Amino acid sequence: MKLVRLLVVLALAATPQIAASQSSYLFVWVGGTGASDFMATIDANPASATYGRVVASVPTGTIGMPHHTEHELPPSGHLLANDFPAGHTWLFDLHDSRKPRILASFGDVAGFSHPHTFIRLPNGRVLATFQYRANANTAAQMRMPLATTAGMTSAQPHVTGGLVEMDERGHALISASAVDTTISDRLIYPYSVLPMPGLDRAVSTTTDMDEGDSAATSQWVQIWRLSDLTLLRSIALPPGPNGPRGNASLYTGEPRLLADGRSVYIHTFNCGLYLLRNTDSAKPTAIFVHRFDGLDCGVPILTSHYWIQTVPADHGLVALDIRDPERPREVSRVSVGVDEQPHWIAVDHTGRRIVLNSAGKGNRLYIINFDPANGRLSVDKQFRDPGSKQAGIGLAGANWPRGFIGNVVPHGAVFSR
């Protein structure tokens, strides 16, 4: 009997360690010049002797430029990741962190090409934005991307894409075009999407990833009926304060649902922040609430009552307390160095650790510590290259487990669960 009790005590004592180990890896979607796209596993356990080291990787065989992944790892351990210029998507099985593998891949879906954002729905399906209508010449139009927000250039105008509800392997179930004949601006290319099942609504944004399309100012936000993907209306964000190259309403980016379950924050790549309300009414409203420094503000996260924004002009992150959504208040900011241009961030399941990638000189990856009690941001200085005093790990020249040694650029990155 004493032995049984001892075994139970030991099992209970081990449980927190097992749970902690499940969130001690990073999965980073990377690619490099002349090298296959990779999904890499990086040790993110601060107590590990290999903290910050690449411990596994799986190549796709495609030479391109990895772009967005899902914003967090689903409970299944399956992660969707796209190579935007290639117009191709892979489904990775990351359940065994040190043995990542490819489950499936797909290209065009339901007559649309170049997916950008994938969001899991409560019914187990995936809601995805596809930037363009598919055609035989699309692939030939793509050129290699630049390390900027837009990410690609093309020789010809694109044709408006749409939304697709599908399974995770790219089999379409419902699809709809984003074309809106009621407005004069036809340059609408779905960028990101926010499903709102409680209201039977979805909100999508419209920035074109083709940076050569200078005419597509993308001030548009579109509201859909989620259940059948009927496009209900398109609204233009109101102009905000003028920036160095236009106003804050241009290039709509990531929408996030606020705590009331009805209001939406939308950031723009011109570094504006907008509050959208009444999405389930005939007259939605959008107001400007904040302006960040500079341009090309990238992916934000919403955690607790904080909005955390990548701000390349500040070489770091800015945290806003948004308990009053109409009057967000800055509470913290952190810089990772004047050579860095932060773009992608994701938060772990505790809400206390943030992964940040940068398209600066070193193509570096950082861990940022976050305190939900006060919104304070700080750089984890222990997450660094072996023998270096500089925070962050440089993926340029990294030694990959499969033998590739070279310069790679990180993009989508998520924590293990």
Report the sign of the C-alpha dihedral through residues 68, 312, 293, 241, in that order. negative
Provide the pLDDT confidence category of residue 192 given band limits of 50, 70 and 90. very high
Average pLDDT, the chain: 85
pLDDT, one tens digit per residue, over 104-139 is 999 999 999 999 999 999 999 999 999 999 974 444
In the prediction, which pLDDT does 366 show?
A: 95
pLDDT, one tens digit per residue, over 344-400 is 999 999 999 999 998 766 678 999 999 999 999 999 999 998 888 899 988 766 655
414 vs 337 pLDDT, higher one: 414
Sheet holding 316-321, edge to edge: 300-303, 306-311, 316-321, 329-335
Amino acid letter, residue 192? S
66 vs 71 pLDDT, higher one: 71
Q: Is 165 helix (H, G, I), strand (E, B) or coil?
A: strand
365 and 393 in contact (C-beta within 8 Å)? yes
Question: Can you tell me the mean pLDDT for 326-341?
Answer: 94
For 21, left (φ over 0), alpha (ψ -120 to 50), or beta?
A: alpha
Percent over 70 (pLDDT), the chain: 82
In the prediction, which pLDDT does 156 show?
A: 60
Which DSSP category does 152 fall into?
A: B
Q: Is 242 helix (H, G, I), strand (E, B) or coil?
A: strand
In the prediction, which pLDDT does 2 show?
A: 43
| From the candidate CATH numbers 2.30.110.10, 1.20.1640.10, 1.10.150.120, 2.40.128.630, the one assigned to the domain spanning 108-298 | 2.40.128.630
pLDDT, one tens digit per residue, over 4-53 is 344 333 333 433 343 444 469 999 998 866 678 889 999 999 999 999 99
Question: Can you tell me the mean pLDDT for 249-256?
Answer: 94
Provide the pLDDT confidence category of residue 245 given band limits of 50, 70 and 90. low
Which pTM was predicted?
0.88
Sheet holding 66-69, edge to edge: 66-69, 78-83, 88-93, 101-106
In the prediction, which pLDDT does 65 show?
A: 83
Six token digits for residue 354: 């943030």
Provide the pLDDT confidence category of residue 64 given band limits of 50, 70 and 90. confident
For the chain, which residues make up each domain, given as ranges? Answer: 22-49+300-417, 108-298
In the prediction, which pLDDT does 3 show?
A: 42
46 and 64 in contact (C-beta within 8 Å)? no
In the prediction, which pLDDT does 224 show?
A: 98
**Residue 262, Cβ neighbours under 10 Å: how many?**
16
Name which of 49, 58, 59, 60 is nearest 24 in CA terms: 49
Which DSSP category does 10 fall into?
A: H
